[in-house]
A and B are shown apart, each in its own frame.
Chain A
Amino acid sequence: MLRSVFVIAYVTLTCLCAHAARSADLGELGRKIFFDPSLSASGRMACSTCHDPRYAYGPPPGKGIARGGPQLNRGGTRAVPSLRYLHDAPPFSEKTRFADGDVGPGGGFTWDGRAGTLKEQARIPLLAANEMANRSAAEVVSKLEKSHYAPEFRQVFGADIFKHRDRAFEAALAALEAFQQDPKEFYPFNSKYDAFLRGEIELTEQEERGVALFKDPAKGNCASCHVVLSKRGQPPLFTDFDFLNVGVPRNPRIAANGDRNYYDLGLCGPTRRDLAASHEYCGFFRAPTMRNVALRDTFFHNGVFSSLREVLDFYNDRDLHPEKFYSHNPDGSVHKFDDLPPGYADNVDRDAPLDRLPGATAALTEADMDDLIAFLKTLTDGYAPEPQSASDAAQRSDEYAWKVFVALNKPSAAWESWPSANDIFRPDAADPGPWKSTQQPSAVPIGSSRFEAFSARELPNLHRIENGKMVVVKDPLASASRLTEIHLNQAGYEYIRARALYNVAGQLRAEAVSFPAATKEVKAKWRVISEAERSRYYAMTVKLADGTERLYGLTALHLVTKDLPTWFWATFEHVDNPQLPGNDGWQAPSRDTFACGDAEPACNRAPRGIGLEGTVWENYRLRGTLTSFVDRAGKPNLLANSELEAGMQSTASCITCHSRAGIGTVAGQPIRLAVFDTSTGDPKRGFVGEPRPEWFAEGRIRSLDFIWSMAKAR
């Protein structure tokens, strides 16, 4: 009897294990299919080309309306959606009952819900002529058969699977579906808002205001479709998979829209065909999740808007100032709802904030929109709280540097949304106002306050030598091959505000300036990169004064934290820096015991196992850290970044240089210590070693706690 029980248990366990192994294999196979460009007619387009894991399986910047086909020249007709948080989408039904009691169309996959399952959805791009452009399922299978993972395919589905083309194609779709059910990849629920829901952190005041506006039926009213209620113990999905028509403007950048008789009407066609006669559904598209929406630069089904600000502005002003969004008729009147054929205007949503009559007050103020965007940014996956640990900073410096690096840079560079030094130390010396994070536009204007303007390249009437002649630099900033910026986090920002350190008068009044331990400062440098280099860099697009755009890659990053009384200093560089023209090379070897171990600290590798693999961040290197002025032998500690300390690497010590940040008065005029030691005649010699008492003799200069950017104050 006992033996029988064991046998039954063994058999059951074996079956379960086999099943589990098969599911894991299936998912892994699906991953390989998902990232395989050879499955497209062009050989250059994988699922991941448009559904990029770095952007929550949504489109990378500038690729929101993808081009596909055999030559990658056939334009898409809709914005690429994110594939995240679709795991709980119900099948499409015209009689979906929503939380507010309404009954109507809901569920399904794609913008028009025409796919009932992830598997059905996966079939679409593989065969669409303007996407991966395979002519048939059999063609896909032929490519699968030649793939490097074909043996695994046979292992999972049977040795003869490729002999049965239809079965093999269905198997590939099943593998893709299995991959898309991987919770770590597709529904991680690890945003800042999730951490808040778990009670781990608090939201900022601005983010809390944003949540309230999101829910308020009279203001944002966003939650009426992008629901914030938890369901079955699961955090909110920020969509109820409802369909609606908000009357978004026509997008002239969609090639198909060149035909004035072409209209993409969502539920009633032309892509979806079963509801073509249901005119009441024309123009209806499925409400997407708001999770990771801040990673996008194309919004709504046709991608007509490129920033969250534009989207909110549309909701706010659609009926008050339609001329801002829609094209004009030949008689000059506004062609409102210009992406709908005549007669369909009644299908358009009129719920708040889309319920305004001309002349009424808009539902949202500019400040409201800032708050809403701050909240929406909390919905980005991959949140890691800013680390803070004096012991880690002091004892495991290199590991801690990477911890800070990951927290501030993944999934995107959070520090970019912090106020810049120019935002804090305003030209009018005024209070910079309550903390708010800033959403960066898809193309950052060259004149943005985020960039340090201290460059001759911004001077008017600038000339430079070209081929032996002086030539006018027509757009001085356009010649800026490198850009620098400085940002301070909320703890530091609020400390400056609370003590009015944002102007000279406040700094002169201040006693014993000492920033809180949670303070972090970032200094970053960018250079112009080519499109071919984009995949290796954390990149941003900058709009020049003449309207053209230029691509910049992050080359250098100082991370400075107040975990220690004399701060914690770490600097990172792009691995390509030493090979750049004009770069002096890394004059001191990198020291990274976390990535390399103690035996070979200059191994020039990125650490593994902290989430850098497969991202641009694995191309960055920790050059070193500083926690004290001198080493145990009393020798000055140096730390240089070849981009940020160009020309002075041999005398660069962040900690000593910054110890000289201070302010005093001579004859009633504010004075500060010099950045460089010019006593030797070398104009770029830095100060190193222990700070010398005479620098601050007789209280002539008072320390401003290592923050040099305070010298920007007026």
Chain B
Amino acid sequence: MRYLMVFLGLFVANAVCAGDEPAAPITNISTSDEPATDGKPPAKFTTDAKWETAGYNNDEIVYTILVTSHDSRIIRCTTALQGSYYENGQKQSVSDRQLSTVFPDQQVQVGNWMGMDQQSGATYSVHCHAI
């Protein structure tokens, strides 16, 4: 049942995502927007973000950001996230920033964020460079 629910959750998700690229779905291969100062070519990676519903009664909303490396080198990524949540009926903004190391041709789940308001949407950006 839980897989059915996950499937349903994905199906109805109305994510508002923005990375370095246009709004979601973000699946294009992108490169680092940081010029290679040491002569190294920019990192190759793609990102994806999605809202998932979880919990026994589909009552947990989670925002997930994934980074997939298409590079033969280890890359280091900085992910910034901005979203909203409600506290005592008042809409509040919340942000977060994560550092991730991604091995060649691997995917990492940068993070899973609970408690944000899905209707308000969320934005994120990912910057990666080879190390």
Contact = CB atoms under 8 A, between A and B. Distances in A.
B115 interface: yes
B1 A675 contact: yes
B58 interface: yes
A197 B2 CA distance: 43
A535 to B, nearest CB: 27
B26 interface: no
B58 A683 contact: yes
A392 interface: no
A461 B112 contact: yes
A55 to B, nearest CB: 31
Nearest to A482: B56
A647 interface: yes
Contacts of A461: 109-112
Contact of B58 (A453, A676, A712): A676
Interface in B78-116: 81, 85, 87, 92, 94-96, 109-116
B131 interface: no
A469 to B, nearest CB: 7
B8 A675 contact: yes
Contacts of A527: none
Contact of B113 (A455, A463, A648, A676): A463
B34 interface: no
Interface in A151-205: none
Give the size range of B's interface with the partner: 20 to 34
Given A464-B115, A468-B94, A712-B1, A674 B59 contact: no
A456 B54 contact: yes
B11 to A, nearest CB: 9
B55 interface: yes
Contacts of A708: 1
Q: Which of A470, A672, A675, A712 has the most CB of B within 10 A?
A: A470
A646 B57 CA distance: 7
A324 B23 CA distance: 58
Given A464-B115, A469-B94, A470-B94, A711 B60 contact: no
Q: Which of B52, B59, B87 has the most CB of A within 10 A?
A: B59
Contacts of B115: 464-465
A454 B5 contact: yes
Given A454-B5, A674-B4, A470 B113 contact: yes
Interface string A664-677: 00000000101110
A413 interface: no
A304 B5 CA distance: 45
A423 to B, nearest CB: 15
A111 to B, nearest CB: 46
A452 B3 CA distance: 12
Contacts of A525: 56
Interface in A652-692: 672, 674-676, 678, 683-684
A464 B116 CA distance: 8
A452 B112 contact: no
Nearest to B110: A461
A52 interface: no
Contacts of A460: 109, 112
B55 A454 contact: yes
A462 interface: yes
Given A460-B109, A647-B57, A709-B1, A465 B12 contact: no
A494 interface: no
Contacts of B8: 674-676, 678
B119 to A, nearest CB: 11
A465 B4 contact: no
A712 B2 contact: yes
Interface in B44-71: 52-60, 62, 64
Nearest to A707: B1
Given A468-B92, A470-B96, A712-B1, A463 B57 contact: no
A645 interface: yes
Contacts of A647: 57, 59
A484 interface: yes
Interface of A: 452-457, 459-465, 468-470, 473, 484, 525, 644-648, 672, 674-676, 678, 683-684, 708-709, 711-712
Given A454-B54, A463-B114, A711-B3, 6 more contacts: A454-B2, A465-B115, A644-B56, A675-B58, A678-B12, A683-B53
- The 7 A-B pairs with the shortest beta carbon distances in the complex, nearest first, are A454-B2, A470-B96, A456-B54, A711-B1, A456-B60, A459-B112, A465-B115
Interface of B: 1-5, 8, 12, 52-60, 62, 64, 81, 85, 87, 92, 94-96, 109-116
19 contacts: A452-B2, A454-B1, A454-B2, A455-B60, A456-B55, A456-B60, A456-B114, A459-B62, A460-B112, A463-B111, A463-B114, A464-B113, A470-B96, A675-B58, A678-B8, A678-B12, A683-B12, A683-B53, A711-B3
